[in-house]
Amino acid sequence: MEEINIYGYMRVSSKEQNEDRQKIALTEMGVPENNIYMDKQSGKDFERTQYKRLLRKLNENSVLYIKSIDRLGRNYGELNEQWRIITKEKKADIVVIDMPLLDTRREKNLLGTFISDVVLALLSYVAENERTNIKQRQAEGIAAAKARGVKFGRPPLPIPENFYQMHKDWRAGKITIEEAAKACNMCPKTFYSKAVKYEKSKLNSSCVLTEMVYISSNRIHKTILTYCITKSVEIQ
């Protein structure tokens, strides 16, 4: 009888998430550390480097341990397809630590296969449904944050001191936009974007100033007119 090779697979959705809980569970099941494969990636599909490496290793003398079914994936259709590839094509066994019913080493008869298939289908549905809910909660959270005025993305870089002179020279045709951008340590696209914003802000300021002058002028005219009318009444 050939030796059984034990493997483990871990997945976290982002670099910030901690994988220690999964690693501890796998090592407690006797999975050698050098046989543990991990991806830091979403579970929406199986385009994952380490998972593909693991899949090439599996054969009929392999047992694959995972902490929970959603660590393998969260896409209902693809999760069921990968389960079929591992158990039917590769003929390897899978053990889901958090769900003892999903242990293909047990009950190799028709009833055992039926129970595993039903439990897998149910858990796959729950995993994908949770992924959908997570995306919806994220979208709602982002929308609520934007409504509160929260800004996302990197903060804009401060405008360099020579920007205004470069802008003036560029608009005067003394230099090209590439030369102006290079002098400001920017790419031409960024320089142009900031130039447009600067010109709009100047235009808005000019409009506000014109309006203020107009309002002030009207007030002066009204004051003079009122004074003249008052004096006229006094003379009469």
User: Which residues form the catalytic set?
Assistant: 13
Q: Which residues contact 25 (CB under 8 A, 6 or more apart)?
A: 67, 97
Indicate the SS3 state at residue 16.
coil
In the chain, where does DSSP find H-type helix?
20-28, 49-57, 69-72, 76-84, 110-147, 163-171, 177-183, 188-235
Q: How far apart are CA 81 and CA 76, in angstroms?
A: 9
Q: How far apart are CA 21 and CA 163, in angstroms?
A: 52
Chain centroid to CA 112: how far? Answer: 40
The answer to whether 8 touches 33, Cβ cutoff 8 Å, is no
Q: Which residue type, as a one-letter code, is found at position 49? A: T
Angle subtended at Cα 135 by Cα 130 and Cα 136, rounded to the nearest 5 degrees? 95
Token pair 């991990």: residue: 38
Tell me how far CA of residue 5 lies from CA of 54, 73, 92, 176, in angstroms. Answer: 12, 22, 10, 65
| The pair of three-digit structure tokens given for residue 198, joined into one six-digit string | 């600067």
